[in-house]
Chain A
Amino acid sequence: DIQMTQSPSSLSASVGDRVTITCRASQSINSYLNWYQQKPGKAPKVLIHAASSLQSGVPSRFSGSGSGTDFTLTISSLQPEDFATYYCQQSFSSSFTFGQGTRLEIK
Protein backbone atom coordinates (compact mmCIF):
# COMPACT_ATOMS: atom_id res chain seq x y z
CA ASP A 1 0.00 0.00 0.00
CA ILE A 2 1.03 3.58 -0.58
CA GLN A 3 2.01 5.34 2.65
CA MET A 4 1.28 9.03 3.16
CA THR A 5 3.38 10.99 5.65
CA GLN A 6 2.48 14.49 6.77
CA SER A 7 4.68 17.01 8.51
CA PRO A 8 4.53 18.51 10.93
CA SER A 9 2.13 16.47 13.07
CA SER A 10 1.13 19.64 14.88
CA LEU A 11 1.70 23.30 14.35
CA SER A 12 1.06 26.42 16.39
CA ALA A 13 0.42 29.65 14.53
CA SER A 14 -1.27 33.02 14.89
CA VAL A 15 -4.10 34.65 13.00
CA GLY A 16 -2.64 36.23 9.88
CA ASP A 17 0.29 33.84 9.63
CA ARG A 18 1.18 31.96 6.47
CA VAL A 19 1.45 28.23 7.10
CA THR A 20 2.53 25.29 5.00
CA ILE A 21 1.81 21.61 5.60
CA THR A 22 3.72 18.94 3.73
CA CYS A 23 2.56 15.52 2.56
CA ARG A 24 4.89 12.90 1.13
CA ALA A 25 3.85 9.71 -0.66
CA SER A 26 5.88 6.50 -0.50
CA GLN A 27 5.74 6.28 -4.29
CA SER A 28 4.66 8.53 -7.11
CA ILE A 29 0.94 9.30 -7.11
CA ASN A 30 1.07 11.78 -9.99
CA SER A 31 -1.32 14.53 -8.86
CA TYR A 32 -3.96 12.29 -7.30
CA LEU A 33 -3.80 14.06 -3.95
CA ASN A 34 -6.66 15.54 -1.93
CA TRP A 35 -6.63 17.74 1.15
CA TYR A 36 -9.34 17.70 3.84
CA GLN A 37 -10.05 19.88 6.85
CA GLN A 38 -11.64 18.41 9.96
CA LYS A 39 -12.93 20.31 12.96
CA PRO A 40 -13.61 18.62 16.31
CA GLY A 41 -16.75 16.49 16.27
CA LYS A 42 -17.36 17.11 12.57
CA ALA A 43 -16.88 15.16 9.39
CA PRO A 44 -13.95 16.04 7.15
CA LYS A 45 -14.47 18.59 4.40
CA VAL A 46 -12.61 18.46 1.10
CA LEU A 47 -10.57 21.57 0.34
CA ILE A 48 -8.45 20.63 -2.65
CA HIS A 49 -8.38 17.79 -5.15
CA ALA A 50 -5.91 16.91 -7.89
CA ALA A 51 -3.17 18.48 -5.73
CA SER A 52 -4.05 22.05 -6.60
CA SER A 53 -7.73 22.37 -7.59
CA LEU A 54 -9.69 24.34 -5.06
CA GLN A 55 -13.14 22.98 -4.24
CA SER A 56 -16.05 25.30 -4.91
CA GLY A 57 -16.71 27.54 -1.95
CA VAL A 58 -13.29 27.10 -0.34
CA PRO A 59 -11.56 30.42 0.36
CA SER A 60 -8.75 31.38 -1.97
CA ARG A 61 -6.30 31.66 0.95
CA PHE A 62 -6.02 27.87 0.66
CA SER A 63 -3.76 26.54 -2.07
CA GLY A 64 -2.11 23.27 -2.94
CA SER A 65 0.87 22.29 -5.01
CA GLY A 66 3.07 19.37 -5.89
CA SER A 67 3.17 16.23 -7.97
CA GLY A 68 4.84 12.85 -7.83
CA THR A 69 5.66 12.26 -4.17
CA ASP A 70 5.82 15.71 -2.55
CA PHE A 71 2.87 17.99 -1.91
CA THR A 72 2.07 21.08 0.11
CA LEU A 73 -1.01 22.79 1.47
CA THR A 74 -0.59 26.48 2.12
CA ILE A 75 -2.87 28.84 4.00
CA SER A 76 -1.79 32.34 3.05
CA SER A 77 -3.28 34.25 5.98
CA LEU A 78 -4.72 32.21 8.83
CA GLN A 79 -8.22 33.01 9.96
CA PRO A 80 -9.75 31.93 13.30
CA GLU A 81 -11.94 29.34 11.55
CA ASP A 82 -8.89 27.64 10.00
CA PHE A 83 -7.71 26.10 13.25
CA ALA A 84 -8.44 22.44 12.64
CA THR A 85 -6.78 19.18 11.62
CA TYR A 86 -5.73 18.72 8.01
CA TYR A 87 -5.36 15.42 6.17
CA CYS A 88 -3.92 14.55 2.80
CA GLN A 89 -5.24 11.54 0.89
CA GLN A 90 -4.05 9.75 -2.22
CA SER A 91 -6.44 8.38 -4.83
CA PHE A 92 -3.77 6.98 -7.17
CA SER A 93 -4.32 3.52 -5.79
CA SER A 94 -7.56 2.02 -4.58
CA SER A 95 -6.33 1.90 -0.99
CA PHE A 96 -7.23 5.65 -0.72
CA THR A 97 -4.67 6.16 2.05
CA PHE A 98 -4.78 9.19 4.34
CA GLY A 99 -1.88 10.93 5.99
CA GLN A 100 -1.81 10.87 9.78
CA GLY A 101 -3.03 14.46 10.03
CA THR A 102 -1.63 17.85 10.99
CA ARG A 103 -3.24 19.61 13.92
CA LEU A 104 -3.15 23.38 13.50
CA GLU A 105 -3.47 25.17 16.82
CA ILE A 106 -3.70 28.78 17.90
CA LYS A 107 -0.46 30.20 19.29
Chain B
Amino acid sequence: QVQLVQSGAEVKKPGASVKVSCKASGYTLTNYYMHWVRQAPGQGLEWMGIINPSGGSTSYAQKFQGRVTMTSDTSTSTVYMELGSLRSEDTAVFYCARGNYYEGRSGTLFDYWGQGTLVTVSS
Protein backbone atom coordinates (compact mmCIF):
# COMPACT_ATOMS: atom_id res chain seq x y z
CA GLN B 1 0.00 0.00 0.00
CA VAL B 2 1.12 3.54 -0.66
CA GLN B 3 2.78 5.23 2.31
CA LEU B 4 4.56 8.52 2.81
CA VAL B 5 6.59 8.60 6.01
CA GLN B 6 8.05 11.91 7.11
CA SER B 7 10.91 12.72 9.42
CA GLY B 8 10.37 13.73 13.02
CA ALA B 9 9.66 17.02 14.71
CA GLU B 10 12.31 19.74 14.70
CA VAL B 11 13.06 22.77 16.83
CA LYS B 12 15.07 25.50 15.15
CA LYS B 13 16.30 28.97 16.00
CA PRO B 14 15.36 31.99 13.91
CA GLY B 15 17.61 32.31 10.89
CA ALA B 16 18.38 28.61 10.72
CA SER B 17 17.30 26.10 8.08
CA VAL B 18 15.30 22.88 8.37
CA LYS B 19 15.25 19.89 6.06
CA VAL B 20 12.24 17.59 6.17
CA SER B 21 12.24 14.21 4.48
CA CYS B 22 9.38 12.20 3.01
CA LYS B 23 10.02 8.54 2.20
CA ALA B 24 7.66 6.95 -0.28
CA SER B 25 6.79 3.27 -0.46
CA GLY B 26 4.25 1.12 -2.26
CA TYR B 27 4.72 2.83 -5.61
CA THR B 28 7.45 4.08 -7.93
CA LEU B 29 8.55 7.52 -6.76
CA THR B 30 9.37 8.76 -10.25
CA ASN B 31 5.86 8.08 -11.56
CA TYR B 32 4.23 10.86 -9.54
CA TYR B 33 4.96 14.46 -8.62
CA MET B 34 5.27 15.33 -4.92
CA HIS B 35 3.86 18.46 -3.31
CA TRP B 36 4.59 20.16 -0.01
CA VAL B 37 1.91 21.88 2.06
CA ARG B 38 2.31 24.03 5.16
CA GLN B 39 -0.19 24.38 8.00
CA ALA B 40 0.45 26.90 10.76
CA PRO B 41 -1.09 26.15 14.17
CA GLY B 42 -4.88 26.50 13.98
CA GLN B 43 -4.66 27.72 10.39
CA GLY B 44 -5.46 26.44 6.93
CA LEU B 45 -3.48 24.63 4.27
CA GLU B 46 -0.93 26.49 2.17
CA TRP B 47 0.67 25.01 -0.95
CA MET B 48 4.45 25.48 -0.99
CA GLY B 49 5.65 23.82 -4.14
CA ILE B 50 6.09 20.73 -6.27
CA ILE B 51 8.90 18.49 -7.36
CA ASN B 52 9.07 16.01 -10.19
CA PRO B 53 11.23 13.23 -8.72
CA SER B 54 12.02 12.09 -12.24
CA GLY B 55 14.59 14.69 -13.17
CA GLY B 56 14.20 16.91 -10.12
CA SER B 57 12.41 19.87 -11.72
CA THR B 58 10.65 22.08 -9.22
CA SER B 59 8.16 24.92 -8.99
CA TYR B 60 7.66 26.95 -5.84
CA ALA B 61 4.93 29.24 -4.59
CA GLN B 62 6.01 32.83 -4.94
CA LYS B 63 5.77 33.31 -1.19
CA PHE B 64 8.55 30.79 -0.61
CA GLN B 65 10.76 31.56 -3.60
CA GLY B 66 14.36 32.00 -2.56
CA ARG B 67 13.85 30.27 0.81
CA VAL B 68 12.72 26.78 -0.15
CA THR B 69 14.49 23.97 -1.96
CA MET B 70 12.91 20.65 -2.86
CA THR B 71 15.04 17.71 -3.87
CA SER B 72 14.66 13.99 -4.42
CA ASP B 73 16.78 10.88 -4.04
CA THR B 74 15.39 8.14 -6.24
CA SER B 75 17.79 5.57 -4.78
CA THR B 76 15.99 5.81 -1.44
CA SER B 77 12.56 6.90 -2.76
CA THR B 78 12.79 10.01 -0.63
CA VAL B 79 11.97 13.63 -1.29
CA TYR B 80 13.19 16.53 0.79
CA MET B 81 12.02 20.03 1.55
CA GLU B 82 14.49 22.52 2.96
CA LEU B 83 13.29 25.88 4.23
CA GLY B 84 15.83 28.53 5.14
CA SER B 85 15.95 31.85 6.96
CA LEU B 86 13.40 30.53 9.42
CA ARG B 87 11.29 32.95 11.44
CA SER B 88 8.74 32.39 14.16
CA GLU B 89 5.92 32.62 11.61
CA ASP B 90 7.28 29.46 9.97
CA THR B 91 6.26 27.38 12.98
CA ALA B 92 3.95 24.87 11.35
CA VAL B 93 3.26 21.32 10.35
CA PHE B 94 4.69 20.50 6.93
CA TYR B 95 3.13 17.76 4.82
CA CYS B 96 4.29 15.99 1.69
CA ALA B 97 1.46 14.87 -0.57
CA ARG B 98 1.49 12.80 -3.74
CA GLY B 99 -0.01 14.48 -6.76
CA ASN B 100 -2.15 12.27 -8.94
CA TYR B 101 -3.68 13.28 -12.25
CA TYR B 102 -7.14 12.85 -13.66
CA GLU B 103 -8.76 13.82 -16.93
CA GLY B 104 -5.62 13.15 -18.92
CA ARG B 105 -3.33 15.14 -16.62
CA SER B 106 -5.54 18.24 -16.68
CA GLY B 107 -6.54 17.95 -13.05
CA THR B 108 -4.53 17.06 -9.95
CA LEU B 109 -5.56 15.73 -6.57
CA PHE B 110 -3.40 15.02 -3.55
CA ASP B 111 -4.27 11.40 -2.96
CA TYR B 112 -1.75 10.34 -0.32
CA TRP B 113 -0.27 12.46 2.45
CA GLY B 114 2.54 12.04 4.89
CA GLN B 115 1.78 12.18 8.60
CA GLY B 116 3.18 15.71 8.89
CA THR B 117 6.30 17.13 10.49
CA LEU B 118 6.05 19.83 13.13
CA VAL B 119 8.74 22.47 12.84
CA THR B 120 8.96 24.88 15.75
CA VAL B 121 10.97 28.09 15.32
CA SER B 122 11.89 29.64 18.62
CA SER B 123 14.80 31.45 20.14
Contacts and interface: CB of A to CB of B under 8 A. Distances in A.
Q: Is the interface of A mostly helix, strand, loop or mixed?
A: loop
Interface stretch (B23-31, B83-91, B102-110): B102-110
Contacts of A101: 44-45
Interface in B14-35: 35
Contacts of A96: 35, 47, 50, 108
A91 B95 contact: no
A91 B109 contact: yes
Contact of B102 (A45, A53, A94): A53
A14 interface: no
B31 to A, nearest CB: 18
A32 B62 CA distance: 21
A97 interface: yes
A1 B46 CA distance: 13
A50 B102 contact: yes
B59 interface: yes
B45 A43 contact: no
A86 to B, nearest CB: 11
Interface string B88-122: 00000001010000110011111101111000000
